Amino acid sequence: MKTLLIIKANTFAWLQAVFPDRTPLMASVCNKPLMEYLLDFAIMCGSRHIRLATDMSPAKVEAVFGDGGRWGVELTYALIRESDDLAAVLLKNSRYCFGSRLLVMEGCFFLRYDKQRDYASFMKTAAPGELMSCATGRILIHDDTPFQPALEADESPPPMALTHLQSIGDLYRQSLRVLEHDAHQYVLPSYNTEGDVYLGRNVMIARSARIEPPVIIGDHVQIHKKAVVGPNAVIGRNVIINAHSQVRRSVILDKTYVGDHLVLDQKMVGGCQLVDPSKDTMVKLEDAHLLSSIQILQGWERNRFQRLGHGALAAFLWVCLAIPYVVLSFALKLRGQWRRKEETYWANRRGRTTRLAGVSFNSSGLCGRIAARLALDRYPLLGRVILGDLALIGTRLLTSTVANRAIIEMDASYRPGIFNYVEAENWPVPEPDQDIINNFHLARQTLFYDLVMMAKVFLNKLNKETALCESISK
Amino acid sequence: MQFQIQSSSYGPIGIAALSGRLDAANSYQLRRQFDRCLRTTGKFVFDCQDLNFIDSSGLGALVTCLRKAFDAAGDIRLAGVAPKVRLVFELTQAEKLFTFFTNTDQALASFNDRSIKLEATS
């Protein structure tokens, strides 16, 4: 059995109107994206091939779900038009859809199921056609092979139901409903240490703070002194609840700061947006004393000492390599082997871009070999390190594409450097593993560590033959 | 914002029409004008029908004004507060300090109602 998820932007217009900076496809119920509930259900129904067909950019979804490997399925993505109906989507994905039983989930809804029940047997024998629907979506089985009904009437179908989602109020109510009544039916992204308390990773709770179940608290959350969280509170990832504040019957979305002595009762908060779901009123507060959005700073951006260290080392290299750069670039230019190259890159996780002008040259010939071993292809970028825009050594630079932005947002450790840690390794690292290696070193880095790694980079360059040198090849 | 003093059967009442945003940029102006009017009366109605936004500075200014009005044996009644502005009062629990009315007339009339006065100051 295969699954096709059809999700269109217009079904999430209500979410975009309130939280325009949040990805509709990643809208969550109890800190779990709606999309993941559907994925879990498809897997329980026996699907091993799942396709998301959407008219939105799937980049952020792709960054989280990837190829579905974490779930043990093959997840693929397809773009459709807003005007495409089911027949058109099936036709456009005909190679995927036809020839096997297909579970189609179309629209924007919350799907209620029970993880302990067997859906696979039911789906095998269910007659093709619409299984269930709600105002904003439906689930159906499409089967172009002859259907053979089961000889004996099966047991009643396992519990499943659709709940429409067409307002912030619906999303809010669904979140609290799952938390209050149905949490045991789903796999929620937290540890359930004691009854009705779900805690994420790296949660800091002050001793005088009070947690009243049921609550679900996401990763990297700080709850300060005498704050009261719960009952019925959903706290997203990267949230700070300051001292003496109370959060009950409320949903706080990711990256939100809640100031001190505030009371959130039956509210939904995302960044600086405060919503009263019962009255459908909303206010945007740009106020650090009340609510604000949290921007996650990298260790690199916080640590001025390290930036100074990198800048000083870059200045040292800039001085040492100035004469070789002038001489060798002149020689390579005469031979026509020296080319300028410009590209725009993501400079940090907050979405700032930077345009970098680098060079590329062929390292055949004596001048090219010496230039390659002295890493002169990176020389034009040293100024950016001195200015503090880039690290001397860090993760690889990612070009400013939407897909790369999504990768950066999901990756906690984007510190673009003109050299990267992979270059310090003694063995060739295949492309897919490069980010893993970079992140491994980044998690351990100190200024001294970076100095050692830079020394290794230059030693490697002295020993390695490279055909083409590019300062900004990625 | 505009302050005016209006006579009523319960004595002079200051009416302040707040409009637009009440934030750090103009909360000082509110305090200053309020202090000036406080010499004439301690009773005020703040007409918030055209108030679109309030932040912590604006709220701070309102609470300061309220405290001064209490000191002068008066009160501040808020009229026509929009739901989204009311959310900020709710968030900060400032709604417990103020008495809200649908419109200015009701707020003015409330100064004749002793029960509201007692409730607000208790």
Residues A236 and A352 in one domain: no
Residues A265 and A325 in one domain: no
What residue of A is the nearest CA neighbor of B94? Answer: A262
CB contact (8 A) between residue B93 and residue A263: yes
Residues A446 and A360 in one domain: yes
What residue of A is the nearest CA neighbor of B21? Answer: A285
Confidence of residue B63 (pLDDT cuts 50, 70, 90): very high
Residue A420 tokens read as 């990267």
Q: Which residue has the higher pLDDT, A232 or A287?
A: A232
Counting one residue from chain A and one from chain B, the pairs whose CB atoms sit within 8 A come to 43
Residues A178 and A199 in one domain: no
Please give the Cα distance from B57 to A191 (Å, whole number): 40
Residue A331's pLDDT is what? 87
Cβ partners under 8 Å of residue A349, min gap 6: A296, A298, A408, A409, A414
Asked whether the beta carbons of A229 and A211 are under 8 A apart, the reply is yes
- SS3 for A138-156, per residue? EEEEECCCCCCCCCCCCCC
Asked which of A162, A182, A202 is the last residue of a domain, the reply is A182
Please give the Cα distance from A271 to A240 (Å, whole number): 11
Confidence of residue A411 (pLDDT cuts 50, 70, 90): low
pLDDT at position A59 over 50: yes
Residue A82 tokens read as 């807003």
How many domains does one find in chain A? 3
Domain ranges, residue A231:
190-293
**Which secondary-structure segment (H or E) carries B13?**
strand B11-22
- Using CA atoms, how far residue A50 sits from A40, A132, A159, A339, in Å, is 11, 19, 22, 45
- How much of chain A exceeds pLDDT 90, in percent? 33
Architecture of domain B2-112: 2-Layer Sandwich (3.30)
Backbone angles phi, psi at A313, to 5 degrees: -65, -40
Average pLDDT over chain A, rounded to whole? Answer: 85
What residue of B is the nearest CA neighbor of A262? Answer: B92
CATH number at residue A266: 2.160.10.10
Residues A171 and A284 in one domain: no
- Give all strands of the β-sheet with A74-79 in edge-to-edge order: A74-79, A49-54, A2-7, A102-107, A137-142, A129-134
Quick one: which of A119, A228, A138, A216 has its CA closest to A177? Answer: A216
Which 215-274 residues of chain A touch chain B by CB within 8 A?
259, 261-265, 267, 274
* Paired strand residues for A257: A240, A292
Please give the Cα distance from A443 to A429 (Å, whole number): 18
Q: Kindly state the DSSP code that residue A73 receives in the 8-state scheme.
A: S
Q: State whether residue B56 sits within 8 Å of chain A by CB.
A: yes
Residues A215 and A123 in one domain: no
Q: How far is B10 from chain A (nearest CA, A)?
A: 36
Residues A286 and A303 in one domain: no
Q: State whether residue B52 sits within 8 Å of chain A by CB.
A: no
CB atoms closer than 10 angstroms to residue B10: 14
Asked which of A182, A211, A245 is the last residue of a domain, the reply is A182
Residue B118's pLDDT is what? 41
Please give the Cα distance from A187 to A193 (Å, whole number): 14
Q: Which of B56, B84, B93 sits opposite A283 (nearest CB)?
A: B84
What residue of B is the nearest CA neighbor of A265? Answer: B91
Asked which of A150, A182, A214 is the last residue of a domain, the reply is A182
Relative to beta strand A204-205, strand A222-223 is parallel
Residues A240 and A211 in one domain: yes
CB contact (8 A) between residue B84 and residue A281: yes
Residues A268 and A385 in one domain: no
CB contact (8 A) between residue A290 and residue B91: yes
> Interface pTM (ipTM) of the complex?
0.85
Amino acid sitting at position A22 = R
pLDDT at position A291 over 70: yes
Residue A212's pLDDT is what? 94
- pTM score, whole prediction: 0.71
Backbone angles phi, psi at A50, to 5 degrees: -130, 135
Which of A11-15, A95-99, A114-118, A216-220 is least confident? A95-99
Residues A41 and A166 in one domain: yes
Q: Which residue has the higher pLDDT, A368 or A75?
A: A75
What residue of A is the nearest CA neighbor of B85? Answer: A283
Which residues in A lie closer than 8 A to residue B93 (C-beta atoms)? 261-263
Residues A278 and A327 in one domain: no
Which residues in B lie closer than 8 A to residue A267 (C-beta atoms)? 87, 91
CATH number at residue A88: 3.90.550.10
**Mutating which of A18, A285, A286, A292 best tests the B interface, going by the most B Cβ atoms within 10 A?**
A285
Residues A113 and A8 in one domain: yes
Confidence of residue A112 (pLDDT cuts 50, 70, 90): very high
Confidence of residue A400 (pLDDT cuts 50, 70, 90): confident
